[in-house]
Amino acid sequence: MKSEANPKNHGTKKNHSHTDHHRMMIRDFRRRFYWTLVLSVPVLGLSELIQGWLGFSFSFPGADYLVFLLSTAIFLYGGWPFLKGLADELGNRNPGMMTLIGLAISVAYLYSAAVSFGLEGTPFYWELATLIAIMLAGHWIEMSSVLSASSALEELAQLMPSEAHRKNGNNVEDIPLEEVEKGDILLIKPGEKIPSDGIVSSGKSYLDESMLTGESKPVDKGEGDEVIGGSVNGDGSLEIRVESSGEDNYLNQVIDMVRKAQADKSRTQALSDKAAFWLTLIAISAGIITLSAWLIAGRDLQFSIARMATVMVITCPHALGLAIPLVVAVSTSKSAQNGLLIRNRTAFENARRITTVVFDKTGTLTKGNFEVSEVSTFADGYDEDRVVSMAAGLEGHSEHPIGKGIVHEAERRKLKIPEVEDFEAIKGKGVRGSLEGKNVMLLSPGALSEMDIEVPGGTDKGAETRVFLLVDKVLTGSIALADTIRPESYKAVQQLQSRGIKCWILTGDNEQTAAAVADELGVDGYFAQVLPDQKQEKIRELQEEGEYVAMTGDGVNDSPALAQAQIGIAVGSGTDVAAATADIILVNSNPLDVSALILFGRATHRKMVQNLIWATGYNVVAIPLAGGVLFPLGIIMSPEVGAILMSLSTVIVAINAKLLSVPKEKLVDG
């Protein structure tokens, strides 16, 4: 089966196609630059002005026509990308950078050609040749910078191996990666890359996921654990059951998400585009005004055209057009490498404005792995084992951490777990169903109070979460579970508070549990016993107090709160990267990454502002000089010098964008 025909690789193919097209354009500009450079040598050598500068004299019959022919080749071949761009932009009624360059070289060539065939004046073929050569070099450098910034996507795509070892009964066959399908059992040998997302069905090892999630420590994996395609196996053998392949793979989702984020235009970039458009109009107007002003002042046509061409070249908003997109490409790629997936560019850039971070407690600040710490009984005939087994029956198919903890306890006690009928989840309150012919419910303390059932006193201890078992509406027992606070949570809260950012906890847990965790972490406040549909209201309350709120949650029951917050941050665990309402996804579910997000957001915005200031400030200074305002003082800027400065400004903007970084020690230590 050919990979080209396989729709599962469409996303990766699309990325390669885009990159290949970009590389072809770079090669084209490079080739045109070298040919222009070669043809420019005799043009410069036969220029009287250049000969005067270098102190020699050389000519022969027909030299002027040879220079004309060479310059024509330079204009048509070297200048073709700009002439085509001029035609395309005018055809789309959207004049831009190519319009300026195309007009500048056309004016220079047509005027010089007219002089060669009888018009009085001095041609500036050598200015034309150097201008085109410099513009080609500038575009070559710019496009190479953009490709380099976007190459992280290609590097990610190359993390996947080319083939996989699929088990077929007792046999193992090597198949192309494109043929891997959901449900396949794959053998992963020591040191090999994981071919696809899946679940470990047998074996034990550790994986290096650093290139995927930014997690530097090897991650232990055993039976039942998720693995991510592209991660590198350690020294153990694993067998995995494929859960997703092709475009559904975590890696392809990341690549697609990063590509979309790079293409997404934030408000800052929209401002840049608008400024570039107006600068184009200003450049054309300034060129016409410069030409007219010098002609009215009595200067000859050659001088006036040279001034106009210089103004139009130097005013070209190339640097401004590149200022934001290149920072976007760099920041999005580097963020992804550090476990931050950006879905909303504007939200990412606004991370610097966050004044309050609201954390969902379970699974974000805590590990989300609940273990039963105590079982209490309140009715005759119900011992601890029976309370646990009935509760496990209700929670048998639950994905909630509390439910998993209860089922795990039943399995640890080797209890028989009864089958449940008529199962129903009661939103934000608990679960119910029919067990052994009885109506059984497992409820939160809040739900118990709503039923006017007195919650037994003296049962809650610190940060424990307690659920209550009711059989035929009679309270029969309770189970307390403890959820350990992540070690990273302490440092995350400290880092955020050290930057003047308030930290709040939002949880459906009872008051005592929420207070214990809040006190342990030293947060600024908490909301307890909040149902999922009430979380949005709590975010709104903070916003009404003037806070710029980032909400961090799991992207499922926290969706309304994530949508309400100015910035929604979803924690993703392993392959869970598709939180629909989140602006940013934290791949590692690590609260420390919220601090990293803010650092990256600030660094990105800082680079954007620096580039905008340079690109616009450069033009403010350069336009008057190009127009000749200092000519009475003997200071004049030639077109080729203008082209050099314009290209230099583009290179400075590109280099500044590539220097965007957040030191690793800051990401770790704050």
Classify 590 as helix, strand or coil: coil
> Distance between CA 110 and CA 241 in Å, rounded?
69
Q: Which residues pair with 202 in a beta bridge?
A: 239
Asked if residues 111 and 301 have their Cβ atoms less than 8 Å apart, the reply is yes
Classify 167 as helix, strand or coil: strand
76 DSSP 8-state letter: I
- Distances in Å between the Cα of 154 and the Cα atoms of 140, 151, 261 are 20, 5, 15
Q: Which residues pair with 374 in a beta bridge?
A: 480
> Is 669 an annotated catalytic residue?
no
DSSP E strands in 361-491: the ranges are 371-377, 421-426, 430-435, 438-443, 464-471, 474-482
Q: What is the dihedral of CA 277, 283, 288, 289, to 10 degrees?
A: 110
> Distance between CA 660 and CA 638 in Å, rounded?
34
Asked if residues 440 and 469 have their Cβ atoms less than 8 Å apart, the reply is yes
Of 152, 564, 107, give the one whose Cα is nearest residue 342: 152
- Cα atoms in the Cβ-side hemisphere of radius 13 Å centred on 661: 6
> Distance between CA 111 and CA 115 in Å, rounded?
6
Supply 584's token pair.
Answer: 């940013």
DSSP codes, 303-328: HHHHHHHHHHHHT-THHHHHHHHHHH
Active-site position among 20, 256, 264, 360: 360
Asked if residues 434 and 445 have their Cβ atoms less than 8 Å apart, the reply is no
Asked if residues 360 and 604 have their Cβ atoms less than 8 Å apart, the reply is no
- Distances in Å between the Cα of 105 and the Cα atoms of 78, 97, 200, 385 are 11, 13, 63, 88
- SS3 string of 88-116? HHHHCCCCCHHHHHHHHHHHHHHHHHHHH
Asked if residues 484 and 366 have their Cβ atoms less than 8 Å apart, the reply is yes
**Catalytic residue IDs:** 360
